[in-house]
Every structure is written in structure tokens, then in C-alpha cells.
């Protein structure tokens, strides 16, 4: 197999995973439920807090900036924040441990009525699970983007959107990226923006 054969096979595999994801009715139900919770949160004056590790942190940041900035057209900014401040992350990791980098931020800025979007392609990221526990203890709702078998996060959230199980986390991240855009689009449509 040549390098380009492998690249082409990667695109074919991504298309197969997307087809598997979109052919499952549970996908659409979960996206609708998650979108409705997010709209309700924003309508009631709450904010959406997002977190994840590595590529999932990039997805969390991307989701937040699509809401605070611009998605498809000009509109008012919507309340969202990604837990991505390097000074906070390194401070908490140093003083408490890496498992608490997100939960301490949720404690600081989360409020009852806010919503946490936790992203983990395995569903088992300990620091995201700690953030979920903090959010729920404060009366926040939780939406999770997961992959593989859903991991521990599957049973610890209000709504789980799970990418199909594959051998590679990049496939889950590709699904998560599409879901993120779909949720932002859903929010804009429902809010009439």
C-alpha cells in the first residue's frame, strides 16, 4: 500500500464512521436533547462551560469561540467559556494534580443553571470526570461527547453523544467536530439568530 492509498483509505474509513453515526436514531435524539438543554441554559441566562484534553480541548475551545464569536452569520455573542487557561491549568496541576484542572475551574466559575460540555474520545478522562462531578454537585447539567464504549462518562451525564467505536481516536474527534458545529447551528436556529 502506498502512502496515498493509506490516505484514501483514511477518508473512506471516516466516511464509513460518519455513515454509521448518522444512521443510528439515537444520534439524532441525543443531539436534539443536548441542543435543547443548551438553548434552555442560554435562555435562562446561564453559560456553557467546555473542557477536554489534547484534541478534545481544541474542540472545547472551538465550540466556545463559535458561540462567543461568529458561526455562520453576525449575531450577539452567546455565553460560553472553554477551560483552557494555561496559568490555571499549570497552577492546579502543580498544587492539586492534573485530575483537578477542570473541576477547580468549574468550582470557580460554574453556577447552578450553567451547563458543562465534557469531551473525551475514550469517555474515561479522569479530569473531565472530576469536572462532571463538580458541575453536578452545583446543579449544572452535563452533556458529554464520547467515543469507544462511552467509558465512565456515559453513565454520569444528562446527555451522551457517542461516536462509533473505532481503533483510532481521530475518528471520534472527527465526529465530535461535526457534532460541535451541529449544536452551534441548532442553538442559533432555536434562538432565532
Domains contained in the chain, CATH given: 3-191 (3.40.50.10490)
Rounded alpha-carbon distances, angstroms, from residue 144 to 4, 8, 38, 69, 184: 35, 30, 12, 22, 15
Q: What is the pLDDT of residue 168?
A: 84
Q: What is the pLDDT of residue 150?
A: 96
Q: What is the CA radius of gyration of the chain?
A: 17
Predicted TM-score (pTM) of this structure: 0.96
**Using DSSP, how many helices (H) and how many strands (E) does the chain show?**
7, 5
Strand-pair partners of 144:
118, 160
Q: What is the DSSP string of 78-116?
A: --EEES--HHHHHHHHHHT-GGGTTHHHHHHH--TT-EE
Q: Is the pLDDT of residue 116 over 90?
A: yes
Amino acid at each position: 500500500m502506498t502512502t496515498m492509498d493509506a490516505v484514501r483509505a483514511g477518508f473512506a474509513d471516516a466516511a464509513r464512521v460518519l455513515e454509521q453515526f448518522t444512521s443510528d436514531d439515537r444520534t439524532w435524539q441525543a443531539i436534539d436533547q443536548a441542543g435543547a438543554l443548551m438553548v434552555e441554559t442560554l435562555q435562562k441566562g446561564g453559560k456553557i462551560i467546555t473542557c477536554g484534553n489534547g484534541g478534545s480541548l481544541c474542540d472545547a475551545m472551538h465550540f466556545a469561540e463559535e458561540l462567543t464569536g461568529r458561526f455562520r452569520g453576525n449575531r450577539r455573542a452567546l455565553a460560553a467559556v472553554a477551560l483552557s487557561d494555561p496559568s490555571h491549568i499549570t497552577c492546579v496541576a502543580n498544587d492539586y494534580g492534573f485530575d483537578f484542572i477542570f473541576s477547580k475551574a468549574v468550582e470557580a466559575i460554574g453556577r447552578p443553571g450553567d451547563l458543562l460540555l465534557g469531551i473525551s474520545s475514550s469517555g474515561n478522562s479522569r479530569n473531565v470526570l472530576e469536572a462532571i462531578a463538580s458541575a453536578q454537585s452545583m446543579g449544572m447539567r452535563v452533556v458529554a461527547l464520547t467515543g469507544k464504549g462511552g467509558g465512565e462518562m456515559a453513565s454520569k451525564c444528562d446527555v451522551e453523544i457517542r461516536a462509533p467505536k473505532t481503533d483510532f481516536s481521530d475518528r471520534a474527534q472527527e465526529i465530535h467536530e461535526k457534532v460541535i458545529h451541529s449544536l452551534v447551528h441548532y442553538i442559533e436556529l432555536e434562538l432565532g439568530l
